[in-house]
Amino acid sequence: MSDSTPASREPAKHLIEVAATEDNSMRLDSFVARKLDLSRTQAATLIANGHVMVGNRRERASYRPIAGDRIAVEIPPPAGREVLGENIPLDIVFEDDDLLVVNKAAGMVVHPAPGNWTGTLVNALKGRGGELAEAGGEDREGIVHRLDKDTSGLLLVAKTDRAHRVLGAALQARKIVRRYAALCWGHLDGDRATVDKPVARDPRDRTRMAIVNTGRAARTDFVRLARFDSVDLLRAHLHSGRTHQIRVHLASIGHPVVGDDTYGGGGGRKLVALPARRHFLHAAWLRFEHPVTGAKMDLREPLPADLTQSLITVDGSGTLSANSDLLEHFGFYRDDN
C-alpha cells in the first residue's frame, strides 16, 4: 500500500532533510523539485515567494544545500482551483447506485495534489458524470482508500455519503479484506511472515515513509506462493492501511518490492522484465459487505499484462501462459489465512 487508508488530508507543509553524509551538488530549486515531484519552475516560484526555508532562513534558487541542512517547503493551497472532470477511460469492475470498484492502472494518481493537478482518478470519475460522495472533500470525492501511483488494482469508490460513511467505518474495523500480489527480492525465511511495525513519515526525508517507533500501528501478513531464483511471489494481507505500508514493511525485513525505486528494490529490472517506473504490486482481491444491501462482495482482478510478463520471465519454465490467470495458478485466492 500500498497504499493508505482511510483517505485523509495531508498537511500542506512538507519537510525534507538533506542526507547528513555529504554535501549536495544540486541547486535548491532542482532539489526541491526532485523531492516533491514538482517542475523546476514550480519549485523556483515557491522559493521566490518565501515558501522554502533552509533552517530558519531564506535562500536563493541557486543555493546548493550542504550536509545537515533542514529544508522546509510549504505548498500553499491553490486559490480557487477547481477539480475538473476529464475524459479519461476507466476500467470499472463493479458498479451500482451506491458504489463502484475501479481497476486502477499503474501510473495513475488517485487524487489531485501538488505536481499532479490533472489526470487523476478523481478527475476521471468526475468526467464520467453521476453522483460521488462528497465526504472526502472536493478533491477526493468518493475516495474510500488509496493506492500508490505505480500500484495497480482494485479500489473502492463511494457514490453516496452514506456508502462512504459505512465503508469508511468497515475499513477502520478491518472488515474490508484487501490482498495484494507482490514480487520481492530475495527469499523469506519461511513460507509465512508477519511484519507488525509502526509506520510514519521518514524524519530524514518527508517524501518517504519509514518504520518509526512513534508511528501508527501497522501489520501485514505475507504468504509465499512461489519461490524463484532471485525473487519470491507473495500474497500480502493488509490489517491496516498506512501509506506505502507493504513496500515499507518488505523493505524493513530486507526484501523490497521488485521495481520499487523508493525503498531499495529498483535494480535488476531487465532480469525480471519489468518496465521503468513500475513496481510489482497489484491489489488483486477485495472482499467486503455492500454498504446498503449487506451482500457479500468478492472481487478479483488478474495481474495486468506487464506484471504477467514479468512473472512468466522469473518463472522461466516456459509453461505459463499470458492468457491465463497466473494468480489462480499459484493459489493466490486460497483462503488459508
Residues annotated as part of the active site: 148
Closest CA to 124 of 75, 116, 150, 276: 116
DSSP 50-64: T-EEETTB---TT--
Residue partners of 241: CB distance under 8 A and separation at least 6? 1, 2, 3, 4, 5, 6, 145, 171, 178
Question: Is 300 buried (19+), middle (13-18) or exposed (0-12) by CB count in 10 A?
Answer: middle
* Cα–Cα dist 272/185, whole Å: 10
Residue with C-alpha cell 517547503? Answer: 73
Radius of gyration in angstroms for the set of CA atoms belonging to the chain, rounded to a whole number: 21
* Cα–Cα dist 310/75, whole Å: 38
**What is the distance between the terminal CA atoms of the chain, rounded to a whole angstrom?**
19
Closest CA to 23 of 64, 70, 60: 64
* Cα–Cα dist 178/159, whole Å: 20
Closest CA to 241 of 67, 110, 99: 110
φ and ψ of 115, to 5 deg: 90, -15
* Cα–Cα dist 287/113, whole Å: 29
How does DSSP classify residue 130?
A: S
How does DSSP classify residue 176?
A: S
